[in-house]
Chain A
């Protein structure tokens, strides 16, 4: 028994991504087609070359038919995957395992979400009949619970902490301004964000991820076949997923200063990949900054900061483009936008660009001798979430 992973068994040979935006003129079908075409182009293959498909969407459609119909995929398996906001990463994980098993030569994963046809701002969950006792808070309010708990635990002034998380949004907007695919391409300052009205706890609208339509995809094959398709593939080093039990809203021991499922997924992924010191081994990371406090505590859960120190590291610029471990170099959910089912694969798209030196010059990181990138994707709320961590590298071994 053990989580062994599939290190170096599967190669990613192409990743594509549409612009993330309020695509008033694009349907889900349009997004699927545009995302797929970008992905085929990146891999240099055609749709007919693909043996099996995994389609991630959280709320926009159901079943593999939603992908097969618009793309006219004939006689192939297509599986729809859903795991909250980690849907895109989960679709990729299923495709990768299918390739690693030897069942298919080429597998494609595509995530897409059409959120802007709903008529309301923000994301709105699919209504399942219940007894009416479920909590109805917004995700923003749920994640806002982190700040007072974190401030109290580490004796940080709440205003200072609020400024620190605004610096996270400032960084991600700075990066997103350098990303032609991003939803929000305007820089903003922590000071400006702090002056905005609070909408959930201390959080303002600018502490929340952009809500956008979009699609992203990836194509993968067995590692030994990678060079048939691609000179510079990425090798999957680790894929980890942890689903919680909702213990945070049940167990008085949970204190809202950590996202346990993310910590467990990171530990598992580091073990699969053989990473012992993420701070010196990981070149860059794309993490699930759905709200600014999320990125703060993730720095600790992913081992990028010591407990209680992420706040100082953020203020010191440790995670900026030129910092010791650049995080969300494409602008993250905050600035790139968050089409739920596509986000996990959008993260992979940035790792694909950065590790292979293909990112635009104005947001290119200096990786030095580091060859690993990390994506972290979650769905749910503090104390009750699914969490995904993936690690990818340019080298085998």
Chain B
């Protein structure tokens, strides 16, 4: 049996209330909220966070390869999956590939993993922008999802792959040239009509491949950037409305490449055993995948569920959103921008920089962050063992707010964090409002992009509050 072993998602902390768009421009926006990647997040960091959640939910499973799909990669030419690989502290023998570019790569990568070999961590991530007041801006959402795909010999399968269907077509319906600030779309009606037969074809092919009928579908996750084609054609598939998986449009928005995996993660959290989940994705044709949950899903614990992450969000103002997306240029602090990190120095310290791995002195047990060769206590030399703290919570010992220092989004909120079980690190805080920080607060590490200098993205770890489902306002 082959299928999904675990899922994990990352819904960014920030939510934009769509009504703020029309309040400023007199048009655009709509009801509800969309998720917003913070200024220190990109598709790579969000993918890393989703993947961390997936591996947490998977238990002890050995990954063979990591495949990363996005239409908004942080780098071209350079592989982005290797940064996620490093953040997950995967072994060098584990592969890491970018599958990105097209929106279709999300579902395509998943289907390829399900029909392929080995244990594959399929990570998809997108940041969905558009010009101010555009429907892409309002309907889009930022987020990432990770699915661990493999055989039941490698881990416990919670949803078995039972079939798929494909209808490929060359359609100029939505496109973007590399580097362009927005996507372009053809007249809406064209796509709506063009997708209609493709959906039917792929849906029927998938049912046939799985050996099931329409009535057997318990959860239908239908998605695509062409929302009109999705809505108009959904009813024509004959699946009862109570079996339609919520597309999260009212809270998260459409996360593009990541959205089918996000919806699948959401469906898995709601599903009982032996239920059929069908993914149907519109993107230059249609791909459909059929899964059936197993008995194992009953005892499958999920930390940081989709619904919990949605509930824990805090709002971001439209002005800040526009500045984060560089749609509006805001005066920076009059301080020098940081230097680019050194490639060789970063490479030497990859375990620390990407994996948040320090060292523990074997004789004194003192934890050193960053890693050290000589112990602060006792002075033992080269008697350290690595200690990974990315999944360890800590407590704020002291904090400050720096309005003078350079930051892509001032001010910098900064804390001295004492980790449970030992170890201290001064870390920037993120996903937090300055006024809600206090000594004694609980925080956890999160993988972020500190800044970009000379077109080099400087990745490292920050700390964020450990949140239960308590919405907060920040600006």
Contacts and interface: CB of A to CB of B under 8 A. Distances in A.
- A and B: bona fide binding partners: yes
A276 interface: no
A122 B326 CA distance: 28
A149 B52 CA distance: 34
B346 A132 contact: yes
Contact of A200 (B376, B402, B406): B402
B161 interface: no
Nearest to B348: A131
B114 interface: no
Contacts of B342: 129-132
B369 to A, nearest CB: 7
A136 interface: yes
Interface in B341-382: 341-342, 345-346, 348-349, 352-353, 366, 368-370, 376-377
B450 interface: yes
A131 B349 CA distance: 7
Contact of B334 (A120, A249, A256): A120
A397 interface: no
A254 B376 CA distance: 13
A148 B398 contact: yes
Contacts of A251: 366, 376-377, 424
A2 interface: no
A122 B403 CA distance: 13
Interface string A198-216: 1111000000000000000
Contacts of A262: none
Interface centre among B341, B376, B404, B428 (most CB of A within 10 A): B404
A61 to B, nearest CB: 19
Nearest to B458: A132
B414 to A, nearest CB: 6
A148 B341 contact: no
A136 B342 CA distance: 16
A173 B345 CA distance: 44
Contacts, number: 117
B303 interface: no
Contacts of A245: 376
B422 interface: yes
Interface in A138-190: 138, 140-142, 144-145, 148-149, 152
Q: Which of B398, B450, B459 has the most CB of A within 10 A?
A: B398
Contacts of A255: 397
B352 A131 contact: yes
A145 B400 contact: yes
B39 interface: no
Interface string A84-101: 000000000000000000
Interface-centre pick from A124, A201, A245, A247 (highest chain B CB count, 10 A): A201
A259 to B, nearest CB: 14
Interface residues of A, number: 35
A199 B460 contact: no
B353 to A, nearest CB: 5
Given A129-B342, A130-B342, A132-B353, A138 B458 contact: no
A145 B397 CA distance: 10
B403 A130 contact: no
B353 A141 contact: no
A133 B405 contact: no
B400 A141 contact: yes
Nearest to A256: B398
A145 B342 CA distance: 29
A249 B336 CA distance: 24
Contacts of A122: 335, 404
A127 interface: yes
B335 A249 contact: no
A93 B367 CA distance: 35
Contacts of A132: 338, 340-342, 345-346, 353, 450, 458-460
Interface in A98-148: 120-122, 124, 127, 129-133, 135-138, 140-142, 144-145, 148
B401 interface: yes
A252 interface: yes
Contacts of B335: 120-122, 124, 138
A152 B397 CA distance: 11
Contacts of A145: 398-400, 416
A251 B423 CA distance: 7
A250 interface: yes
Contact of A141 (B336, B402, B406, B424): B402
A256 B397 CA distance: 9
| Most chain B Cβ neighbours within 10 Å, of A131, A148, A149 | A131
A243 to B, nearest CB: 14
Interface in B387-443: 397-406, 412, 414, 416, 418, 422-426, 428, 439
Given A133-B352, A245-B376, A250-B369, A200 B404 contact: yes
Q: Which of B339, B340, B366, B368 has the most A CB atoms < 10 Å from its CB? A: B339
A352 to B, nearest CB: 34
B341 A131 contact: yes
Contacts of A136: 338, 405-406, 412
A287 B400 CA distance: 24
B424 A199 contact: no
Contacts of B366: 251
A136 B453 CA distance: 14
Contacts of A140: 402, 404
A145 B458 CA distance: 26
B412 A141 contact: yes
A198 B338 contact: no
Contact of A199 (B348, B349, B404, B458): B404
Interface string B208-235: 0000000000000000000000000000
B418 A252 contact: yes
B158 to A, nearest CB: 37
B403 A131 contact: no
Contacts of B377: 251
A130 B402 contact: no
A217 B223 CA distance: 74
A133 B353 contact: yes
B305 to A, nearest CB: 31
Interface in A3-33: none
Contacts of A130: 339, 341-342, 345
Given A131-B342, A132-B342, A141 B414 contact: yes
B297 to A, nearest CB: 40
A215 to B, nearest CB: 25
Contact of A250 (B340, B345, B376, B414): B376
Given A132-B450, A133-B353, A149-B398, A127 B339 contact: yes
Given A124-B336, A141-B414, A148-B439, A200 B403 contact: yes
A127 B416 CA distance: 24
Contact of B439 (A133, A152, A198): A152
A249 B424 contact: yes
A210 to B, nearest CB: 15
Interface in A235-279: 245, 247, 249-252, 254-256
Shortest 10 CB-CB contacts between residues of A and residues of B: A132-B341, A141-B402, A129-B342, A201-B400, A132-B458, A131-B345, A252-B418, A131-B349, A127-B339, A131-B346
22 contacts: A131-B341, A132-B338, A132-B353, A132-B450, A132-B458, A133-B353, A133-B370, A135-B428, A136-B406, A137-B426, A141-B400, A141-B401, A144-B400, A145-B400, A145-B416, A148-B398, A148-B439, A201-B400, A249-B416, A249-B426, A250-B376, A251-B366
Given A132-B338, A141-B414, 18 more contacts: A120-B336, A124-B335, A124-B336, A130-B341, A131-B348, A132-B458, A132-B459, A133-B349, A133-B460, A136-B406, A137-B405, A137-B426, A140-B402, A144-B400, A148-B399, A200-B401, A250-B369, A250-B424
